[in-house]
Amino acid sequence: MAIQKWRHKDLLDVTYLSDEEILFILDNAKRFQEVNLRAVKKVPTLKGKTVTLFFSEPSTRTKLSFDTAAKRLSADTFALGKSGSSVQKGESLKDTALTLQAMHPDIIVIRDSSSGAAQFLAERLNCSVVNAGDGWHAHPTQALLDAFSLREAWNGEFAGKTLLILGDINHSRVARSNIHWMTRFGINVRICSPKTLLPRYLDNFPVEIYSDLNKAVQGADAVMCLRLQLERQAAGLLPDLGDYSRRYCLTRRHLSEAKPNAKILHPGPMNRGLEISSEIADCADSLVLNQVSAGVATRMAVLYLYGTRNDDMTLNPQVGE
């Protein structure tokens, strides 16, 4: 698939990408995955470019993944968190962003607890803005790395597969972004969650909704468990965590009803014994660590495309030996 010029300034969600563009990102991620397997895991693709990581919400995997991806592309990286910035002193997101732009970064990667924060910056800044998770809204690179992981596991076939998303759907930007691309690519998406954790937007998608995990998992090709976001449960939507674990924690017994060798995904961090049993998290069909590896490769592809969008060149990264 050939795309000669990347048309997007920002990556706010997968909804802004065409099917062809998603596959193009995955194709580039495959090339960068090969770089990550070399003895010397570095290419000069973004040499001279600057990537700023602006994470005002806690993150381990995503922040480290973006930082690793940028460094392996030879970009200069700078990290800023809420505790180390003037945001903690009351400075507005706009003023902080304008301060960062005055330093002339090529890309700002932002994670923020407010839905719409990435778009707010994108509308005001000249540099590219990549959304690393905003509130309950979107997490596009997580969705893309999940697509990469499943594409590898399913030999490039999405259409006709059945995938169950299990857990806290209402508070999950991961679920929302994944549902968008999965339904577009012909995956039969099932949802299993307590009714109190089901969002209204599901009415707009061709998904099957279950409250019984034993029925939801039957014949599934893959199960994506979600972290139960305890920090967002102030409304008392789950009065009894023990009951949640008994009904919605994925175990070997449940998985015996799925397709043979059904794949297991989890965006992390995992609450073992609450959302997923350790036996399943560590089983041979678990893609959890594959997702971590795919995250670096996919984010390398994203940073490459958005970091070179204005360059006078075809989209052909320098990944030579």
227 in a labelled binding site: yes
180 in a labelled binding site: no
Contact indicator for 216, 210 with CB cutoff of 8 Å:
yes
What number is the average pLDDT over the span 216-228?
96
116 in a labelled binding site: no
In a domain, 1, yes or no: no
Q: Which of 55-64, 83-92, 99-108 has the lowest mean pLDDT?
A: 83-92
CA atoms within 13 A on the CB side of 63: 16
The pLDDT score that the predictor gives to residue 234 is 55
Residue 310, pLDDT > 90, answer no
In a domain, 316, yes or no: no
The pLDDT score that the predictor gives to residue 262 is 98
In a domain, 4, yes or no: no
253 in a labelled binding site: no
The pLDDT score that the predictor gives to residue 312 is 65
In a domain, 191, yes or no: yes
229 in a labelled binding site: no
In a domain, 234, yes or no: yes
The pLDDT score that the predictor gives to residue 81 is 72
The verdict on 201 and 234 lying in the same domain is yes
In a domain, 48, yes or no: yes
The verdict on 124 and 160 lying in the same domain is no
Residue 88, pLDDT > 90, answer no
Number of domains present in the structure of the chain: 2
Residue 313, pLDDT > 60, answer no
In a domain, 97, yes or no: yes
The verdict on 277 and 147 lying in the same domain is yes
Residue 134 phi/psi, 5-degree rounding, is -130, 105
The verdict on 129 and 150 lying in the same domain is no
Residue whose C-alpha is closest to residue 59's, from 238, 239, 295, 312: 295
Q: Which of 46-50, 90-94, 160-164, 223-227 has the lowest mean pLDDT?
A: 90-94
Residue-number span of the structural domain to which 177 is assigned = 140-291
Both tokens of 80, joined, read: 């800023």
Contact indicator for 216, 166 with CB cutoff of 8 Å:
yes
Alpha-carbon distance of 254 to 264, in angstroms, equals 12
The verdict on 63 and 121 lying in the same domain is yes
Give residue 229's pLDDT band: very low, low, confident or very high (50, 70, 90).
Answer: confident
Residue located via tokens 């992981």: 149
The pLDDT score that the predictor gives to residue 320 is 58
Q: ∠ CA 298-301-22 to the nearest 5 degrees? A: 75
In a domain, 131, yes or no: yes
The verdict on 123 and 159 lying in the same domain is no
Residue 90, pLDDT > 90, answer no
Share of the chain above pLDDT 90, in %: 80
111 in a labelled binding site: yes
Alpha-carbon distance of 234 to 199, in angstroms, equals 16
Contact indicator for 112, 101 with CB cutoff of 8 Å:
no
Contact indicator for 97, 125 with CB cutoff of 8 Å:
yes
Alpha-carbon distance of 220 to 258, in angstroms, equals 5
309 in a labelled binding site: no
The verdict on 112 and 178 lying in the same domain is no
Contact indicator for 39, 270 with CB cutoff of 8 Å:
no
The verdict on 256 and 284 lying in the same domain is yes
199 in a labelled binding site: no
How long, in residues, is the chain? Answer: 321
Give residue 231's pLDDT band: very low, low, confident or very high (50, 70, 90).
Answer: low
What number is the average pLDDT over the span 204-220?
97
71 in a labelled binding site: no
Residue 238, pLDDT > 80, answer no
The verdict on 122 and 20 lying in the same domain is yes
The pLDDT score that the predictor gives to residue 228 is 87
What number is the average pLDDT over the span 21-43?
97
Alpha-carbon distance of 113 to 298, in angstroms, equals 23
The verdict on 44 and 172 lying in the same domain is no
Longest dimension (CA), the chain: 58
Alpha-carbon distance of 122 to 305, in angstroms, equals 16
What number is the average pLDDT over the span 41-49?
97
The verdict on 188 and 270 lying in the same domain is yes
The CATH number assigned to the domain holding 264 equals 3.40.50.1370
Residue 89, pLDDT > 80, answer no
Residue whose C-alpha is closest to residue 171's, from 241, 231, 243: 231
The verdict on 119 and 171 lying in the same domain is no
Alpha-carbon distance of 71 to 130, in angstroms, equals 16
Alpha-carbon distance of 142 to 65, in angstroms, equals 11
